[in-house]
Structure 1
């Protein structure tokens, strides 16, 4: 469960498969800092051209990992054995898509996501950032329609499906990575970034729980970041 929502994963940790993976580098993704930097750069550039209105929106890939198939050559290695509580015996299942929960899959997916971001930025000239399957798009007032159209067409051309229910409309305020960006005053050199109401409630609940128990593990402390 995450935020009251059931999120099924391919558990590669309990089976110790993830323990067999060695990585020598940290995955690199765009964070809040990169989004803020892009907003700042765009707003300064717009001011030089006498434009002040900057807008943002978010887009999300639908079941991103499931959109990437395991290669035919690797399918013979994609079997997992799990215990069936109904028949009371282990059963083997073959996975056809990249597993959501595999350490190796995370690095693989991030390479694909970074390639997609590069195409959007350098090929389609769309100001955007990428965090796993989440994209933040920015545009001036007169560019919103063309930016949305090009983004959607690039995704269709490359065969990616978007989560229609998670995509937002252009606005001077938008949520991304758990924070709220207010860009309505960027023309005056002001950018506001703060926790969303949902995130504030989550933090309040966590802190009260730690104070009540008097105990907080290192892993739990990282949730307060």
Structure 2
């Protein structure tokens, strides 16, 4: 999907999967607690000014067809505003429920972010677990997996006493990770089909992750993680040796 040809639903779909479920619930109960807001002028000014700000920004983004990518990166500044509105709604709805559920969500959120470390920036709520995450969502668009995968290539070459002059087919950061390890041949993954001289290494992640696996090669390392209470393995990258 091109960043300049996005449907207006793009923002709302991503917010649905990126916001904690409790926050979504708090936003949805707005019609129920709206009367309580109207009784207090300070609450009314606070909430309606936030709602107008959020709505205006989203409408302008949609109207001017603003180029966006990387999920909600370009509207991340709206997330704290949505939290404020939602938590305020929950507090007015039921103070006890607000305290108990809020505490549980915070504990769960901290636990899950430790569990998926260092891929916290890709975190999605439990609604995403009903989908095939690898096929539906970007799972490592910043390339955090590069560090471990390139390290596995270096370790494999040392353990097998290989010549570091062999090429590494990967991304723009190959040289940054491996140049100081005496590797000196770096090519992009798109050049792999034309590769004739074996052996070589292949790193498959980020934009290249969903491409076909390199032919007649052995996998030497994979990067993956699991969400809490889910058996679905989230694969973020792999390193290959082609002899």
Which bracket does the TM-score occupy, shorter chain normalised?
A: under 0.3
Q: Which structure's residues are more often strand, by fraction? A: 1
Greater Rg by CA: 2
Higher relative contact order (CA 8 A, sep 6+): 1
